[in-house]
Amino acid sequence: MSYKNGKEVLPPKLLKELQKYIDGECIYIPKRNKERAGWGEINGSRQLIAKRNEEMYKLYHQGCSIEDLEKQYNLSAESIRKIVYQIRGKLKSVKL
C-alpha cells in the first residue's frame, strides 16, 4: 500500500470536503468490493500455508508425532491438531 498526496489525486472541491472531516491525518480508502483480493492471494502466502499444511498432514499420516511436528513447524499442538483434522475432513468429503 502506498500513500498519495490528496492534492495530487483529488479534485480541489473533494479535497476541501474531506478536510472538514479529517484534516492533515492519514486515511485509508479501501478498494471496491469486487476488486478486493482475499488474504494472501496476491503475495502467495495462502498457497504457501496450504502447501505447508498438506506436508504436515502427510508427515502425521506417515506416523510423525504431534510433538515432532510442533518442533519442526514451530506451532502449538492445538494448531497442528486443527490443521490435521481440517485436512482429514476435506479428504473425507472428497472421497464421498
Q: How far apart are CA 34 and CA 57, in angstroms?
A: 34
Q: What is the mean pLDDT of the chain?
A: 88
In a domain, 40, yes or no: no
- Judge if 52 and 87 occupy the same domain: yes
- Judge if 70 and 89 occupy the same domain: yes
Instruction: Using pLDDT thresholds of 50, 70 and 90, give the confidence band for residue 96.
Output: low
Query: Mind listing the pLDDT tens digit for each residue in 13-34?
Result: 999 999 999 888 888 888 777 7
pTM (global) more than 0.75: no
Instruction: Using pLDDT thresholds of 50, 70 and 90, give the confidence band for residue 1.
Output: low
80-96 average pLDDT score: 86
Nine-digit cell string for 13: 472541491
Q: How many independent structural domains does the chain possess? A: 2
Q: How far apart are CA 15 and CA 30, in angstroms?
A: 17
